[in-house]
């Protein structure tokens, strides 16, 4: 893949501070048949209002503060630069952040990836954004990005999907079912928190690869090596996420299904050869079903599904290449 440098014709010396807000979703209908009577969608816009709009969406634990979870790509001088792009992002409905979701770990209505996209469309219309230069979605965000591309039609120029396809793979579905089982069988808050930690630990194993863990921990004491690493991941996640939000978004990933022929925008699908959750064969099928306006970018990384967070150089090249045709002068 040739790498094209984006000519930053609208760049200013420093990017403006992110703007945050909450869109009221009164009577918002979910795909499951439930309705959010007083729903809320928390959003962030980062960059000049007259700049090309790029929507950035991450995994189930990622939110609207993209400078936190994707600091390798979003920021001054980076591939997604808010000094000449307007970066729009959200907190997931059903998640643990500022959008509507489980409160006090109570059950919440099922939320589909299509529901997130419908809410995003309402947000874009509310903000007066008629044209979207690109939607960049990774992992769960890649699922939502597909639905948003279908809704936007000719309003969207470029779609970039990373580590996602038009349906869940059987392996990923089975792994997430096991992650949820411990939480679903818990009978009290303490056991529910412990089960959430184990669920996150299982999830992290799916995000990485045996090769990476062997390289990092092969010669270390397991207690301070791989097992300590897993414990830290579980504890950090349970400190900021509740079990009901995890269940809601995990099920949403399993239920994701999309007709690729609905995508009209030029599309780049980024597949990681070692990704255990989204096999290369599924990514190839996805691209084929989108049509001739789609291309596959294949990356090899021991980080597997998490490569988009770890391989900053390679993904910067992919993003610049994908966006160059749309926003170059």
Q: Residue by residue, what is the 3-state secondary structure of 210-277?
A: HHHHHHHHCCCCCCCCHHHHHHHHHHHHHHHCCHHHHHHHHHHHHHCECCHHHCCCEEEEEEECCCCC
Angle CA 287–164–195, to nearest 5 = 160
| 11, pLDDT greater than 80 | no
Q: Residue 98 and residue 102: Cα distance in Å, rounded?
A: 11
pLDDT score for 8:
40
| 60, pLDDT greater than 50 | yes
Q: Residue 60 and residue 241: Cα distance in Å, rounded?
A: 10
166 is catalytic: no
Percent of the chain surpassing pLDDT 90:
91
Residue of 113, 139, 266, 301 marked active site:
139
| 55, pLDDT greater than 70 | yes
**How far apart, in Å, do the first and last CA atoms of the chain sit?**
21
pLDDT score for 219:
87
| 252, pLDDT greater than 50 | yes
What's the average model confidence in pLDDT over 303-322? 96
pLDDT score for 131:
97
pLDDT score for 34:
96
Q: Domains in the chain, please, with CATH? A: 19-168+259-327 (3.40.50.1820), 170-252 (1.10.1740.110)
Which pLDDT band holds residue 162 (cuts at 50, 70, 90)? Answer: very high
Percent of the chain surpassing pLDDT 70:
94
Residue-wise pLDDT for 188-243, tens only, equals 999 999 999 999 999 999 999 999 999 999 989 999 999 999 999 999 999 999 99
As given in the structure block, the two tokens for residue 109 are 């209505």
**Residue 266: partners with Cβ closer than 8 Å, 6 or more residues away:** 157, 158, 159, 293, 294, 325, 326
The residue that leads in pLDDT, 4 or 326, is 326
Q: How many residues does the chain have?
A: 329
pLDDT score for 200:
98
Which pLDDT band holds residue 3 (cuts at 50, 70, 90)? Answer: very low
Taking each continuous run of H as one helix and of E as one strand, the counts in the chain are 11, 8
Give the strand order in the sheet containing 266-272. 19-29, 35-46, 86-90, 53-57, 132-138, 156-162, 266-272, 294-299
pLDDT score for 24:
97
**Residue 290: partners with Cβ closer than 8 Å, 6 or more residues away:** 260, 261, 263, 267, 269
What's the average model confidence in pLDDT over 254-275? 98
Residue-wise pLDDT for 278-288, tens only, equals 999 999 999 99
Pairing of strands 86-90, 156-162: unpaired
pLDDT score for 259:
98
pLDDT score for 58:
98
pLDDT score for 16:
81
pLDDT score for 9:
40
Q: What's the Cα-to-Cα distance from 78 to each of 62, 271, 302, rounded to whole Å? A: 19, 21, 23
pLDDT score for 278:
98
Task: Please state, rounded to an integer, the average pLDDT across all residues of the chain.
Answer: 93
pLDDT score for 326:
55
Report residue 41: phi and psi, to 5°.
-120, 110
Nearest to 238 by CA among 42, 59, 61: 61
Q: Residue 229 and residue 24: Cα distance in Å, rounded?
A: 40
Residue of 97, 105, 115, 275 marked active site:
275
147 is catalytic: no
Residue-wise pLDDT for 73-113, tens only, equals 999 999 999 999 999 999 999 999 999 999 888 889 999 99
305 is catalytic: yes
């Amino acid at each position: 893949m040739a790498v094209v440098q984006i000519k930053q014709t609208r760049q200013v010396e420093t990017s403006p501070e992110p703007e945050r807000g909450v869109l009221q979703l009164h009577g918002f209908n979910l795909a499951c048949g439930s309705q959010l009577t007083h729903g809320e969608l928390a959003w962030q816009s980062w960059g000049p209002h007259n700049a090309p709009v790029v929507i950035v969406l991450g995994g189930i634990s990622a939110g609207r503060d993209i400078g936190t979870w994707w600091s390798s790509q979003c920021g001054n001088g980076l591939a997604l630069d808010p000094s000449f792009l307007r970066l729009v992002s959200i907190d997931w409905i059903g998640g643990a952040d500022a959008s509507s979701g489980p409160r006090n770990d109570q059950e919440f209505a099922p939320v589909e990836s299509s529901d997130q996209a419908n809410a995003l469309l309402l947000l874009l219309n509310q903000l007066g954004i008629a044209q979207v230069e690109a939607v960049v979605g990774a992992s769960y965000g890649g699922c939502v990005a597909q639905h948003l591309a279908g809704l936007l039609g000719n309003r969207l120029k470029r779609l970039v999907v990373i580590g996602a396809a038009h349906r869940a793979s059987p392996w990923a579905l089975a792994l997430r079912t096991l992650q949820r089982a411990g939480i679903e069988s818990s009978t009290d808050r303490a056991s529910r928190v412990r089960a959430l930690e184990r669920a996150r630990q299982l999830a992290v194993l799916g995000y990485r690869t045996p090769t990476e863990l062997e390289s990092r921990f092969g010669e270390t004491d397991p207690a301070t090596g791989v097992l300590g690493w897993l414990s830290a991941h579980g504890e950090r996640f349970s400190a900021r996420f509740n079990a009901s939000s995890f269940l809601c978004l995990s099920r949403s990933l399993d239920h994701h299904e999309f007709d690729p022929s609905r995508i009209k925008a030029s599309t780049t699908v980024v597949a990681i050869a070692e990704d255990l959750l989204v096999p290369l064969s599924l990514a190839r099928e996805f691209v084929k079903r989108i049509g001739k306006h789609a291309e596959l970018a294949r990356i090899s990384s021991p980080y597997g599904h998490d490569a988009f967070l770890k391989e900053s150089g390679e993904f910067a090249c992919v993003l610049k290449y994908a966006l160059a045709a749309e926003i170059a002068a």
